Structure formats: C-alpha cells, structure tokens
A and B are shown apart, each in its own frame.
Chain A
C-alpha cells in the first residue's frame, strides 16, 4: 500500500470524497456537540445538577445562585467555545485549501500577531481600558495585521498569489510579534499579556457573544457558500482558472472570510493556535478533499475540540484554570502525529 504517484488534478476533483462520512460527522457530531455542551455546563468549580440547568433555561430565577452560574458564566462560555472552535477550524480549512500549504493557519495571516500587537500597546500605554475595549482593539489589531499582509502581498502586478500571502504573512507576523515583544519587555507587561492570551474563553460574556456571533455565523455560512471555489482553488490557481473560476474574486472572498472568522475568534480567546492547523487535516482524513464536505465537518470538529478543551480547562485543577491552548496541544498532538504517519493528509 505504498503511495507512489499523486493522482492527476482532474482525478482529484472527480473523487467526490466520502459524503456519507461527512454526513455522519455533521449529524452525529452536532448531536454530540449539544450533549457535550450540556454536560460541560454541569461541570466546573461548582457542580450543578442536570435538572437545574434545564430549570435555569425554562424558568429562570434571579435569586437562585445555580441559575445565575448557568446563565451568566457557563452558558456564554460554552457557546463562545463552540463558536470560536468552529470559526478557527473553518478559517484554517479555507486557508489551507486556497494556499495549498498544509502548514497554513490563521496565525500565519498576521491576525494573531496583529491582535497581540494591539494588546501589548493597550497594556503598555492604556492600562485602564475595560474588557470590551480590549476586545475591540484586539479585533482592530487583527484586521490591521491581515490588511498589512493582504496589501503587501497584492502590491505588485499579478496580485496576491497564495504563496505570496503566506510569505508576507510570516514576515508581517514576525515583525508585529517582535514589536509587541519589545514593547512588552520594555514596559514590563509581558506577564499580563501572557495571562490574557492563555486565558481562553474563561471571561466570555453575553455581550461579547452578541457582538461576535453574527459575524462568525455569517462568515461560516459564507464559507459554505464558497466551498466549491475553495475546492477548485485547492487544485492550483491555473487549474481553477481553467475550470472557469474567477480566481481574483475567489481569493479575495476567501481572504475576507478568513479575516472575519479568525479576527473575531482571536479577539475573544486570544491566540489559540493549532485548532486551525489540525482540524482541517483531521476533516480531510475522514471525508476526502472536497471542501463542500471538509468545511462543514471542520466546523463541527473544531467546535467539539474547543468545548472539550474548555471543559478540561475548568475541571482539571479547579478552581484554577489550565491554559486552554496547552490542553488543545495535549489533545491534538497525538491525533496529528497519527495522521502525519498515515500520510492521508493530501490537500
């Protein structure tokens, strides 16, 4: 069973993937996700019986502490994890597909570095900012990073090819990260920033969700609408053009989707790496290379991973939080290593 030659591009597009596996993941995965979310709400520093959760949802009683914990702390947190997990995973899938680089993830587009840069400026110069303002600034920072990457990559004849995007992303990320590291060290706020960036969804609030959810949901729908274009682009720009795709528009829309998805998630949870890298690989392993299946499957798997990791973050060492990025690494690394050995990660 040694793979010697890669199938020709046309063979890849004809190979429709495994829709049944995708449907299984989407349907069963969504069911599992709901169950996991409900279970997650009952666990944490204070255990809450299952019926109290239902109670809190149906007949809310503002004097009942358990109801308050469920509605004000746990529920927004669980919903935020699911949204962010789906967003990061889909952003990664779209990037890997359009750039044909198995290492591409949202961190590479300058988004994480831009958000980090904005945060370090806030911490160093405006230490009194409130939570919502910090979120706003980190979103602006992410947008700035992405705009820099996109602008620099497309500033020449021929526009932004995927490889240029990735290279520009790496350089801009390095630059912004260096600047923020410098600011952090000079103004002695490195530790504060680290606690923010590893904090995960711990402080998610309804207000945050109200602001972010429409963007994330809209972009998720958009990515599903664009899935066919991503499939074509994953065969290479020339092939995509030859098959009748307007690649400039396709690339641009995909970039926009990634910006919204990753920017929104980074501003909520900080730089949670690895989700956008690993989940699309996992999804492709199960459903094949057709992005009409890869993208929705990634969304479900990403949400599952983040809800699970958040559950771990709360329950491993209560009442202290374990950094969620670390947990994702520990959950994800073994799966990823297994996949890498199987070499069924074709893009």
Chain B
C-alpha cells in the first residue's frame, strides 16, 4: 500500500500530461483544418490543389489576388483576434474571480464603440481616412475607459478588489452605453447601418496593414501573459493567501489587467466588438484542461482562434454573397456548443 502511493501519483500525472498534449494537439489540428477550409471557400471557390499551387507561388494573377490580398490576411486576422480576445477573457476571469467576467466588462467594447459613434457622427462613413483611423480611435476609447474604471475602483489601502472592479466596470459600461444610445438615436440611416454592423463584430479590415498593426501587440503580450501564468494561479487563491505567498498582489493585478485590456482593445479595434469569445473560450478551455493557467492559457488561445476563424469562414459561406458579421457567427456557433458542454458536464 505505502509503496504503491507514489506510483499511482506518477501515473496520474502522466495521464494528465497525455490528456493536455492531446487537447493541445487536437485544437491545433482543428485550427489547421479551419485554416485550410477557409482558404478554399468564399465568394469564389478555389480547389484545394489550386490553393496549394497558389500558396507556393504558381498561381494566376487572379488566384494570387484572391488568396494573398483577400483571404490570407482575413484568416490571419481572425486567428489573431480569436487568440487575443480569448486570452484577455481568461486573464480577466482569473483576476476578477468571476466566471462571467469578460473584456466587455472593463468597458473595452463600450469605450471603443462610443469613439466609433462619435467619429461617424462628426465625420460620416464616407471619409476615406476612416478605415485607417477607426482602429486607433477604438483603441484610444477602450484605453481611456479602462483607465477610468481602474481609477474609480482603486482605493489606497486595498488596491482594486476583484468585486469592486467588476461592479465599477459594469457601472461605467452602462453609463457609456447610455451615452451611446442617446447618440445612436441621432444617427442618419447609413451611419446607423455602419455602426450596427461594427457593433455586431465584423472583420472588415482584412488587409495586411491590419495584420501588421495587430501582430506586434500580440507578439509582445502573449509571451508576457504566459510568463505570468503562475501569478494568475496564486491570485486565484485569494488576496490574503496570495499576500502570504509573497505576491505583490496589487502590482501584479494591475499589470495583468493592463495586458488584458491592451490585448482586447487591439483586437476590438480591428474586428469590431466580437464580445462572446472572451467569455466562452476560457470556459471551454477550462473544461478541457482544468484550472491551472500554465496549460489553460495556451489552450484558451487555441480555442479562441479556432472559434473565430471557423465562425469567420461560416460567415463568408452562409448567405452568399452578403455577409453575416463574424461576431454573430461566433455566438451562433459557440453558444450551442457551450450549452452542450454545460448540459453534459457534472
């Protein structure tokens, strides 16, 4: 009996490791699959072999245009956005210790949305600059909102307690949404359509410039976040325990939140508000690999990427030639699966 104990413990650890590897591998395969399908489908179909030929430089001018100028950037953006939003949601749920927390709660969507509406209200949708200025405006709006929320939730003695952060987030978000409603009522029809589509979340900015705008953020922030996985685990134990384990609770929280906001804001700026990913991807990942952040965070990034890229493909295929905003597809695909998991799990 006594000698048996370490051994079973070891097999258990091995089992877990195998399971984690399997999950990661499975998600990667899914991502690859959706990547391939997404390259082949759309308004004009490319046969798989043609796609491959084009990819390696042997395509006609038309094939090159479709693949390299339209499809690939869009696929890459959707993967990056999915990973970024999912990670952001995972961090925020960890820091706030609330299963319902998502980037939207820190006012990112609301702040970005307000800036977009203000812009549309004053400059209209026709201005040719808008494609380039909107993401930066959205980023600015989201950043300012996040800082306001943090400042309002901050108290000298105790920093930003999770519950107070959430409640403040909800309140500020509601306030901004109210302002947005007042402004939206004043919009003309075409302006309203533009804003409605943006808010439903559409990956409308799909050229390489936006990949380039998004990539540095993610390349910088994702490694940083993965590096902080242990800190998230410690924070989950509660402030008091975290303190006694030697974590500088408030400083870590601030850094993690800043990272989450930057991730989400960059994504929202490019894709409009795709709100559901940040809520659902962490839940899916947690059901697959459990609560430890070192494995949870990468799984979460993969789940998010699969979700958004699959949804974006579906958004392009269904109802051709018009398009459903990707954010809507994300919810239509993600929600039933989430509900299925919820029903099945113990």
Contact = CB atoms under 8 A, between A and B. Distances in A.
A314 B336 CA distance: 41
A100 B197 CA distance: 35
Contacts of A243: none
Contacts of A228: none
A322 interface: yes
A285 to B, nearest CB: 12
B203 interface: no
B343 A152 contact: yes
Nearest to A337: B171
A164 B342 contact: yes
Given A329-B177, A333-B172, A340-B164, A101 B100 contact: yes
Binding site secondary structure of chain B: helix
Interface string B98-138: 11100000000000000000000000000000000000000
Contacts of B331: 174-175, 177-178
A185 B342 contact: no
Interface in B145-175: 152-153, 155, 157-158, 161, 163-164, 166-168, 170-172, 174-175
A323 B180 CA distance: 11
B241 interface: no
A185 B200 contact: yes
B79 to A, nearest CB: 21
A170 B164 CA distance: 21
A219 B170 CA distance: 28
B13 to A, nearest CB: 29
A172 interface: yes
Contacts of B167: 102, 281, 336, 339-340, 345
Interface in A222-277: 273-274, 277
Contact of A329 (B99, B178, B279): B178
Interface in A190-204: 190-191, 194-195, 198
A159 to B, nearest CB: 12
A167 B178 CA distance: 25
A304 interface: no
B114 to A, nearest CB: 13
A198 B168 contact: no
Given A152-B342, A174-B331, A186 B178 contact: no
Contact of A340 (B171, B181, B338, B346): B171
B343 A103 contact: no
Interface string A146-174: 00000011011010000110111011101
B77 interface: no
| Shortest 6 CB-CB contacts between residues of A and residues of B | A329-B178, A178-B331, A175-B335, A333-B175, A326-B178, A340-B167
25 contacts: A2-B158, A103-B166, A155-B343, A156-B345, A167-B283, A168-B342, A170-B100, A174-B334, A175-B331, A181-B196, A181-B325, A185-B200, A185-B324, A185-B325, A190-B193, A191-B196, A274-B174, A277-B170, A323-B178, A329-B178, A329-B181, A333-B175, A336-B170, A336-B174, A337-B168
Interface of B: 98-100, 152-153, 155, 157-158, 161, 163-164, 166-168, 170-172, 174-175, 177-179, 181-182, 184-185, 189, 192-193, 196-197, 200, 240, 275-276, 279-280, 283, 319, 322, 324-325, 327-332, 334-336, 338-339, 342-346
